[in-house]
């Protein structure tokens, strides 16, 4: 079984269970004020395995499938390194929200956005101009998808609506790029130069 499918199955099972149990959902989501008061820092990770609803879960898991499969086919990292990228992406992307919101009792958030964003942008680092089919069977370049993804996250974050942690999209993206630069030092400049050489130029 591929790493991508394994991560999707684990997330889908935990999210489905949490959607049927409010107690489980609140035990796993990111809750900075409670973390500060009770030391429940495990939430930095578990928040990435629960979602607000089925659509939220499907969007994240579809994005993970498309870009995770692409990353696996490249072979730059082994399965355990990819798991590390995804899991650490969830944790790292939650830290800014935890630090910023730890005094806000009512703030809570959830979703795999940070880990998924890390996978997406690790793939974009390797293939910035690769056409991928995301919605309605319409291909878009990965770099264009990245811009739309971050723009959407920025708009939603500014509105501060719902439990979805939109800040995690941004920090997960930054982390995914930094992770790839760290493990792919010899080829970093090569991949950076690809940005300035689109196929239609």
Please report the pLDDT score of residue 73 as a whole number.
85
Identify the burial level of 78 via C-beta atoms within 10 angstroms of its C-beta, where 0-12 means exposed, 13-18 middle and 19 or more buried.
Answer: exposed
Domain ranges of the chain: 3-194
Q: By mean pLDDT, which of 7-21, 41-55, 84-98, 157-171 is the weakest?
A: 157-171
Q: By mean pLDDT, which of 42-51, 116-125, 155-164 is the weakest?
A: 155-164
Share of the chain above pLDDT 90, in %: 51
Mean pLDDT score, 68-91: 90
Mean pLDDT score, 129-139: 79
Mean pLDDT score, 122-129: 90
Sequence-ordered list of residues with C-beta below 8 angstroms from that of 169, at least 6 positions apart, any chain: 93, 113, 114, 117, 149, 150, 152, 153, 157
Superfamily of domain 3-194 in CATH is Rhomboid-like (1.20.1540.10)
Quickly state the pLDDT bin for 156 (edges 50, 70, 90): low
Please report the pLDDT score of residue 78 as a whole number.
84
Q: How far is CA 93 from the centre of its chain?
A: 8
Sequence-ordered list of residues with C-beta below 8 angstroms from that of 107, at least 6 positions apart, any chain: 31, 32, 33, 97, 101
Please report the pLDDT score of residue 183 as a whole number.
86
Please report the pLDDT score of residue 8 as a whole number.
98
Q: By mean pLDDT, which of 105-109, 121-125, 191-195 is the weakest?
A: 191-195
Mean pLDDT score, 71-75: 83
Query: What pTM was estimated for this model as a whole?
Result: 0.89
């Amino acid at each position: 079984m591929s790493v991508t499918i394994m991560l999707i199955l684990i997330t889908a099972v935990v999210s489905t269970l949490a959607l049927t149990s409010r107690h489980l959902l609140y035990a796993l989501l990111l809750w900075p004020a409670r973390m500060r008061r009770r030391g429940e820092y495990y939430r930095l990770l578990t928040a990435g395995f629960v979602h607000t609803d089925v659509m939220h879960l499907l969007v994240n898991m579809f994005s993970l499938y498309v870009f995770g499969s692409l990353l696996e086919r490249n072979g730059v990292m082994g399965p355990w390194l990819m798991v590390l990228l995804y899991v650490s992406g969830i944790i790292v992307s939650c830290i800014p929200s935890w630090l910023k919101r730890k005094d806000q009792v009512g703030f809570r958030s959830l979703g795999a956005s940070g880990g998924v964003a890390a996978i997406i942008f690790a793939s974009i680092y390797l293939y910035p101009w690769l056409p991928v089919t995301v919605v309605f069977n319409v291909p878009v370049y990965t770099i264009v998808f990245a811009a739309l993804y971050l723009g959407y996250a920025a708009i939603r974050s500014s509105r501060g609506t719902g439990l979805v942690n939109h800040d995690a999209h941004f920090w997960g993206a930054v982390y995914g790029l930094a992770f790839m630069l760290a493990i792919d030092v010899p080829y970093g400049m090569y991949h950076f130069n690809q940005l300035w050489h689109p196929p239609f130029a």
